[in-house]
Amino acid sequence: MGPDGAPGPSVPWQKVLWERQPFPDNYVDQRFLEELRRNEGIRQYRYWTVVKEAGFVGQQLSCVAIFISLWLYMEQGLLSPETLLWSSLVCALLGYGLYQSLSSQVESGCEPRTRLADLQSAAIFLSFTFGFSPVLKTLTESVSTDTVYAMSAIMLLAHLVSFPYTHPSPPGSLSLNAALFASVCLASRLPGALHTFAMLSCALMVFALWPCLLQRVRDIAPTHFTGVCLGVCVGGVGGLGLQSPGGAVLLALALGSVTLLCPLLLVRLQRHKDNIQGPWDEAEIHEDLDHGRGT
């Protein structure tokens, strides 16, 4: 039964079922599937744009690598906690200054945080960490090393997987918590309480504060953003390479595949996309996102 079938009666066929028609119920005429739409709303990716976006993912991977290499240095005694503390402080101040200068260029619609509030937060962090560092140091004393390494690895993986790559500021709960949990596990393996404190401050900077700065850079100066990502990746590979060349090679391979190979695959496979839409789809309710979000 179709347009090639025997010529039907002279009454035109109507696409309704409530009227008795001389056609059978499953009859279709030549206007069949004319409302079919293929690949509607498909985006054409351009390779280098995708590479730039994927750079962010690679950057985060390198961040984790940098953190791990710092920890390795501390554990082997190559890096003293005081050095790390002072350098973290300096970096934090520099980053804060950069953040403020960048935000002064943009009219921020939301409530700006006063300097006092920032100072208060910083004081809370530091005092809390310093106060709890003896407790944190002895936390995993009786747990075997393998268990600690396994837990940290799983938690860092969870951090990478659940990281909010689109809007990293404010940082998502699960990713930040997982990263902090891993850093506490690792930091408790270090020889002294000051080491623990230094490690935790470093972790806070790397996992909590750095993404905020990066997002601000990305919003305001996209060209510089790419440069920063590249710099971080190189730093990660280099830092790891000094400790274990094998690790560096692995990291380089991972970075390469994430930033170069996967976009290629995405662009290539885009061609094979075959979506069909039509009036038979479920109705979608489009909410206006700006009105729906609470303050």
**Would you say 263 and 50 are in contact if contact means Cβ atoms under 8 Å apart?**
yes
Q: Which is nearer to other proteins, 124 or 242 (CB)?
A: 124
Q: Which is nearer to other proteins, 159 or 259 (CB)?
A: 159
**Would you say 107 and 175 are in contact if contact means Cβ atoms under 8 Å apart?**
no
| Number of amino acids touching other proteins (CB under 8 A) | 27
Q: Which is nearer to other proteins, 174 or 267 (CB)?
A: 174
**Would you say 48 and 267 are in contact if contact means Cβ atoms under 8 Å apart?**
no
Residues pairing with 276 in the sheet? 38
Rounded least distance, CB 33 to other proteins, Å = 42
Which run of H or E residues covers position 276? strand 276-277
Residue 129 lies near other proteins (rule: CB under 8 A): yes
Pick from 208, 250, 252, 267 the residue near other proteins by CB under 8 A: 208
Rounded least distance, CB 97 to other proteins, Å = 19
- Amino acid identity for residue 151 in this structure: M
State CA 219 to chain mean position distance: 16
Residue that is written with structure tokens 């004393």 in the block: 141
Stretch that binds other proteins, among 7-15, 42-50, 117-125, 225-233 (CB under 8 A): 117-125
Residue 228 lies near other proteins (rule: CB under 8 A): no
Handedness of CA 115, 120, 124, 126 (dihedral sign): positive
Pick from 83, 138, 244, 275 the residue near other proteins by CB under 8 A: 138
Rounded least distance, CB 87 to other proteins, Å = 21
Residue 140 lies near other proteins (rule: CB under 8 A): yes
Distance of alpha carbon 172 from alpha carbon 65, whole angstroms: 20
For residue 130, with 0-12 CB atoms within 10 Å meaning exposed, 13-18 middle and 19 or more buried, which class applies? middle
Distance linking the first and last C-alpha atoms of the chain: 58
Q: Which is nearer to other proteins, 43 or 293 (CB)?
A: 293
Q: Which is nearer to other proteins, 203 or 248 (CB)?
A: 203
* Tokens at 178, concatenated: 């997982």
Residue 177 lies near other proteins (rule: CB under 8 A): yes
* Tokens at 72, concatenated: 């390795």
Q: Which is nearer to other proteins, 21 or 162 (CB)?
A: 162
Distance of alpha carbon 224 from alpha carbon 58, whole angstroms: 16
Residue 259 lies near other proteins (rule: CB under 8 A): no
Residue 176 lies near other proteins (rule: CB under 8 A): yes
Rounded least distance, CB 140 to other proteins, Å = 6
Site residues (vs other proteins, CB under 8 A): 121, 124-125, 128-129, 132, 135-136, 138-143, 170-174, 176-177, 180-181, 184-185, 204, 208
